[in-house]
Chain A
């Protein structure tokens, strides 16, 4: 069977599955809509969290980024997993005990202030919107490459599917579709990885395989380091970023992960505090499978690609080369007119430009795997993008219907009215996300990585201080959040978008990139909060009692309004 038939079959089966689950798990109350009724098992929640977390970026782009950056790509591996340790140890159990529906709920109640709540809603919306646009684009990309439909049609099909299960099922529908989506995406990620690992090293476990030897007994990583040296690139296992910057980017990604509202909210869906801890453990275990495989895929595909194309005749290139050339993600320019492809670090002589997003999607083709494996990768990429998009849309809709309408504008709204409002905001959010997917603003790619910096600069300190110090008051927390996010936005706009006079790498403060600046902004947030709180009145007695109470796990009860 040809690739396109296989892809339609696999995508069709998985989409039918998601829709079936959505119909089976319709939400009947706001509690079901926001937190899936609060009775999700830790195992199911771990699976759902893993799918929620692993986006199109993790599935499609990450192995490619590592493939091109070698050791420097480690920031994503450590950053996007290490954050779960912080979540499990410092946030999830206490936020679950607190027992509310959203992150702004916690901030607003803990800091007894609607100003704090609005600041939190604002941060949640910025972070979630920048993130969701990238997901819809990923959906469009997969559709256009594998099903040969227009990229915009792909985005619209994706929108309709998400609309269906997010609006109908709310958190309940999302949770159980995410469980299914995890299974699809991990299967799709692992099958080609195992195939290629066997092909290249004879070892079926990719995590071990990429430290193994090729057919000539040369260690794969040594071979790749050698290829990199020959072509003028930095050595694969050493990288080229400064140590300080690697340190700060890793920290910003870890802390940002722990501060992302769509991840935190997943821990509100379990029954009790010990279940929240357990789900974090399961979630990281499931994420670990993909995250430890990605660096192996990176090495396999990098070696494979260099060996297939470098110094080879252009006219002898395999089919996948031309198919990807058509998408514009791969381009060849024969500068010295010798009919051969020269792939070099020196941009004046390099003749091949490869987009990093190709590596995972084209990897099975480069390795010559059967069509059903390639189709599986397409279905997996869609599962990754849709599951994350749905989780983000729910945060957006809950921010509007719960935090803004119910908690601030119209507190007497009925349960039914709030549910309608939640569904309507989900519809609007899907449409806005779809619009950005079809007309991607230039800043999307640049800001997705920065969403972590924003989360690190705003939420993380406010939540940590709210749990670990009884004396932190609203004045401290609000000024910390505002200063943190403003400093982060300033740095990002200055060095990414050339506002405020712009600046180049040489002008970075202490040599820290915008991606790593979230760590600095977080430290500023902590410092400002603590200093201000020393000079302003203590929080009221009942708030201090709430803090004492969330530290004790028993009697978590159900999530309440």
Chain B
């Protein structure tokens, strides 16, 4: 694998990480902790929204994030022929 390919592969990986970890931070620390009181004024059925993010929503999003990452990286590996 060429050095330039290695670098662009790594850069794309870092870009994915930055995007996914931002979402990770926003749903847990953002919605579940920092903004919890504001979101609690909004209701979703029997749940206050901030409470729901802290005890349910963040966990669902975490799981989805990992599966999105798996998909993105499998595609990237294919593009650079690294999926041996």
**Chain A interfacial positions (CB closer than 8 Å to B):** 66, 71, 73-74, 77-78, 81-82, 84-85, 88-90, 93, 207, 210-213, 219-222, 237-238, 243, 246-247, 250-251, 272, 274, 277-278, 280-281, 284-285, 288, 291-292, 295, 548, 551-555
Contacts and interface: CB of A to CB of B under 8 A. Distances in A.
Contacts, number: 131
Interface residues of B, number: 43
A275 B24 CA distance: 22
Given A82-B28, A211-B52, A288-B63, A277 B70 contact: yes
Contacts of A554: 1, 77, 81-84
Contact of A88 (B36, B46, B66): B66
14 contacts: A78-B28, A78-B54, A89-B17, A93-B73, A210-B46, A211-B45, A221-B46, A246-B33, A250-B32, A277-B69, A284-B63, A551-B6, A552-B1, A552-B82
Nearest to B77: A553
Pairs of residues from A and B, 10 with the lowest C-beta to C-beta distance, nearest first: A219-B46, A74-B54, A211-B46, A554-B82, A295-B55, A281-B66, A211-B47, A237-B51, A88-B66, A78-B28
B46 A222 contact: yes
Contacts of A90: 17
Contacts of B84: 272, 554-555
Determine chain B's interface SS by DSSP, over half rule. Answer: helix
A84 to B, nearest CB: 7
Nearest to A549: B6
Contacts of B54: 71, 74, 77-78
Given A246-B33, A278-B70, 13 more contacts: A71-B55, A74-B54, A78-B54, A89-B17, A211-B52, A250-B32, A274-B70, A281-B63, A288-B59, A552-B1, A552-B82, A554-B84, A555-B84
A247 B32 CA distance: 9
Interface of B: 1, 6, 9-10, 13, 17, 20-21, 24, 28-29, 32-34, 36, 40, 44-48, 51-52, 54-56, 58-60, 62-63, 65-67, 69-70, 73-74, 77, 81-84
A467 to B, nearest CB: 11
A77 B56 CA distance: 8
A277 B47 contact: no
B73 A274 contact: yes
Contacts of B60: 288, 292
A548 B45 contact: no
Contacts of A222: 46
Contacts of B36: 71, 243
B46 A213 contact: yes
A74 B58 CA distance: 10
A89 B20 contact: yes
